[in-house]
Structure 1
Amino acid sequence: MLCAAIGALLTQMEWTLSLPSRYPPLSSILFNMHWHPSAILSLVLCAVIGGHSEACSTTSAPSERVLLADTQAEKSLQPPATESGSTQKVPGIAANPVGTLHVGEHVVPLEIGDALPPHQRGIKLRVGVCDLPPWTIAPTESRPYWSGLGALVWKNTAKNLGIDYTLSVHTFPRLLEAVAKGDIDIAMTGIPIIPENISRFGMTPPFDQSGISIATRVHSALSFASVTERVIAAEITIWLIALLGFAGLFGLMFWLVERKKNPTITGSGLRGFGESMWWSLTTLATVGYGDRVPTTGKGKIIGALWMASGFLLMTIAAAVFTSALTAAQLQPLVKSPTELITSRVGVAIGTTGDTYATRVNIPAVRFATFEQAMTALREEQIDAIVGSSTTLAYLVEQYPGDHITVLPRPLLRDFVSFGTRFGIDPALEKRIELEVVKSAVSAEYSAMRAAMLGRVDAASEQDEKMQTR
């Protein structure tokens, strides 16, 4: 111990002697200091402390304790290993991908652009699907692959991101249950964005709009009451008033220019105007008895203009009347939502139509699929189907001769997207969301939607109420 103290003293003295060059202001104090025993003891302690400080500040030779701490910290970030030496995956915690940072138990993305594409990370997703046209349509003999609007969006997303995935088939209710439990990573079909679904699993941005509509049969209703109802409708009444108005106008002009020189319309003013109106109506009907004809040049010009105008007006009026009678002959069995209470209604289990019927207390027959409900509607087992606007429009478009129609005004409006399980890698989730939006606004998607649905959905009653406020 004494040798160590002497060595430390010599080291400290050497360090002290070198201080004038390092710290000039302290040189006079140190050289004038008397070597008292207490001073020597102080120098020994300073030597020990100073030597330890220099050892800690030296980077060329880190201590064994520091190396051990770093090794343990590095091992703590790795998943535990099994007895065979393989890495054991911790349930509920995804492997740390490149471009993300561990903060506690959560994986926080630094920046989406820094993350490697999924195919470079070896990611394989579990994707679930169900037969729900027009979003996802099951394979057939002529088309041995999944098709539809949702299938197109996922195909482009997986292709652009290089995602490898397995596909499992479910019913629609089972598909929602599987993604909610985490049995699958992605639910690939058009899932309505409603509070019930948002609370159970994650959802991508919407790639299309839909709603809840009524599909019903059309039946022949050509009777005196239905024809009378259509005749007094607004469009027919307007045309009748227009025809009589034009006939009166040309009859008045004919009387004004012919009353003094045409013997067939002479007499009192009222009688002469009546004769002119008779001429105008026979000319409009293209009958032309010949008992009233213009004799003056101005009268002949008026007659020629009225014949041309009358022919055009009668042609348009005939088309309007024919359309009205056709509409009177084919009437929907259910015309409005208020008639659902007294009608036989069908819904597909687990869909928005099922939720709507339950919410408004509509008694309904529940079917496993929309196809089964459509079959029951064609066979007159039910009167109407309440369900997805786009799905019903697609099914009606596929069978145009079945006398089934979708009411033009939907009950509600909503949007659809893919479902994602909670806890999926945030960086990958953001990339998927971006690709979903890009595919939904592409020209390829718009062309396919127009070909499958054939029309643009009308505004719902709820939308019109919001616009009028």
Structure 2
Amino acid sequence: MSQRRSRRRSFQWVAVQGLVLFGCMTAAVWAQADRQSPSVSDAPTSSSDTSGRDTSGSDTSDTDEAEGVAERIDPSDAPSASNPDLPDKLVIATRDVPPFAMRDEGGAWQGISIDLARVVAAELQAESGRELPLEFRDLALGEMLDAVERGEVDMAAAALTMNYEREKRMDFSHPIHQAGLAIAVGTEQRKPGWTGVIQAVFSPAFLRIVATLGAMMLLSAIAIYVFERKQSDGDFKGGWTRGIASGLWWAAVTLTTVGYGDKVPRTTAGRLMGAVWMFLGLFIVASFTAAVTSALTVTQLRSRISGPADLARVRVATVTNSTSADYLRSRHIGHQTFADVGQALQHLKDGKCDAVVYDDAILRYEVFQHQSGDAYVLPITFAEQNYAFALPEASPLRERVNQVLLREISSPEWEAVLAGYLGESLP
């Protein structure tokens, strides 16, 4: 009996616990449903809460205020990636570096970089719906980089190459042109075969060697004539002219060890002079051969610059603060620097250097336009590099500039523009 009552109490206790658990679960479900569904106060129509208070007034006023704000904001004024905050005018730093940037006869800027900068400005103007005038500032390379770094200009558009040192100071757009470094040499290097050899033979160094040898032969001829001129049956008799001429012939055949024997000294002093001249001739011929070989070799080496591996042994010129100067410096190649490539090429023309190293497109354009008869660009490039626009760090224009560049430089129209600037000057 007691066991039956105990079992009944257990069943009752379990039932009570089940009811409590069911109630808790039901309350939790209703609370979750209330959080997910819109409240009565959020409804656009009027309603009253359990206390009879009207809750629609405050919500209606919030909605009206939001609608008023939306009406006051012009969507075109909202900042976006495609419509960055634009300055009153687009200030572009550049410099005269054909064919990337140069002035026409009227003084207006044109070139590969300038044309692209105008396209970018036109796109930004079309998006903003207002006029965006351009202002070009002509700066030296160092001044241009400093102006971009300090944010004094909106963009730099010239022949700017991307490298590690510049990237630490500023941002760059996507590449606008890809090229490398090139080497310009004197046009005499294009003279093949015997033309170059003949030119070397008549070089000042070779002529000095020949003059020295001729002077020694003349002294020997005069000496043998003085010793032999009184011999009535001698081979060097006659006047000074005939005697010295015979002496020159004897000196030549003796020096070259040919020794025809048609003219021989007969006096003791003359024979002693002949012996000295023969032994001296061995050293003279050896020295002459070495000097001639050296002169021809040096001339040939200087005239056969075929690539960057040859730069270490010749006189090199380049442009100050350029990537070509960085290249030469990093490889410990001695070089002279000039303000622009025109001055470096003039140095080459004057024979004061053997090679000019600079950006391929610029070097070819400059040689084609101004130095075609005095310089020649080797048909190779090295140290490939990319040209780009430079912008200040975190510039709001960078993303939109990149979008315009990617679309423009892949178009057939841009290929035609490049051909107009570079077609004649490329190899």
Matched residues in 2 for 1:50 and 1:333: separation? 102
Match of 1:200 among 169, 181, 184: 169
Match of 2:77 among 83, 86, 98: 98
Q: What is the Cα deviation at residue 392 of structure 1?
A: 0.4
Q: What is the Cα deviation at residue 60 of structure 1?
A: 5.2
- Counterparts of 1:292-307 in structure 2 under 5 Å? none
Q: What is the Cα deviation at residue 394 of structure 1?
A: 0.6
Q: Which moved more, 1:213-222 or 1:390-399?
A: 213-222
What is the match of residue 100 of structure 2? Answer: 135
What is the match of residue 342 of structure 2? Answer: 371
Q: What is the Cα deviation at residue 183 of structure 1?
A: 1.4
> Per-residue displacement from partner, 1:144-170 (whole Å, max 9, x unpaired)?
211111111112222233232322110
After superposing on structure 2, the runs of 4+ consecutive aligned residues of structure 1 that deviate more than 6 Å are 53-57
SS in 1 for 2:110: coil
Whether 1:186 and 2:165 are equivalent positions in the alignment is: no
Match of 2:330 among 359, 373, 395: 359
What is the match of residue 81 of structure 1? Answer: none
Matched residues in 1 for 2:321 and 2:165: separation? 11
Q: What is the Cα deviation at residue 194 of structure 1?
A: 2.0
8 Å contact kept, 1:128–1:184: yes
- Structure possessing the higher radius of gyration over alpha carbons: 2
What is the match of residue 343 of structure 1? Answer: 314
Unaligned runs of 5+ in 2: 1-48, 70-74, 126-131, 198-299
Q: What is the Cα deviation at residue 55 of structure 1?
A: 7.1
What is the match of residue 404 of structure 2? Answer: 435
8 Å contact kept, 2:307–2:380: no
Match of 1:165 among 117, 134, 138: 134
SS in 2 for 1:353: helix
Q: What is the Cα deviation at residue 54 of structure 1?
A: 7.2
Unaligned runs of 5+ in 1: 1-48, 75-95, 101-108, 228-328, 459-469
SS in 1 for 2:108: coil
Residues 456 and 168 of structure 1, relative CA distance in 2, 3 Å threshold:
closer
Q: Which moved more, 1:390-399 or 1:154-163?
A: 154-163
8 Å contact kept, 1:397–1:453: no
Match of 1:453 among 400, 406, 422: 422
- Counterparts of 1:223-262 in structure 2 under 5 Å? 224=194
What is the match of residue 395 of structure 1? Answer: 366
Q: What is the Cα deviation at residue 345 of structure 1?
A: 0.8
SS in 2 for 1:396: helix
Matched residues in 2 for 1:193 and 1:186: separation? 14
Q: TM-score, normalized by length of structure 2?
A: 0.54
Q: What is the Cα deviation at residue 97 of structure 1?
A: 8.1
Aligned residues: 266
SS in 1 for 2:313: coil
Matched residues in 1 for 2:176 and 2:193: separation? 46
Whether 1:386 and 2:349 are equivalent positions in the alignment is: no
What is the match of residue 155 of structure 1? Answer: 118
Quick one: which amino acid aligns to residue 190 of structure 1? A
Quick one: which amino acid aligns to residue 399 of structure 2? K
What is the match of residue 37 of structure 1? Answer: none
Aligned CA RMSD, in angstroms, stands at 3.8
8 Å contact kept, 1:186–1:419: yes
SS in 2 for 1:213: strand
Q: Which moved more, 1:435-444 or 1:124-133?
A: 435-444
SS in 2 for 1:192: coil
Identity value in percent? 21
Residues 196 and 346 of structure 1, relative CA distance in 2, 3 Å threshold:
same
SS in 2 for 1:215: strand
What is the match of residue 59 of structure 1? Answer: 59
Matched residues in 1 for 2:50 and 2:327: separation? 80
Q: Which moved more, 1:447-456 or 1:199-208?
A: 447-456
8 Å contact kept, 1:173–1:349: no
Matched residues in 1 for 2:139 and 2:50: separation? 73
SS in 2 for 1:158: helix
Matched residues in 1 for 2:326 and 2:380: separation? 19
Q: Which moved more, 1:197-206 or 1:447-456?
A: 447-456
8 Å contact kept, 1:149–1:445: no
Residues 369 and 456 of structure 1, relative CA distance in 2, 3 Å threshold:
closer
Matched residues in 1 for 2:401 and 2:193: separation? 57
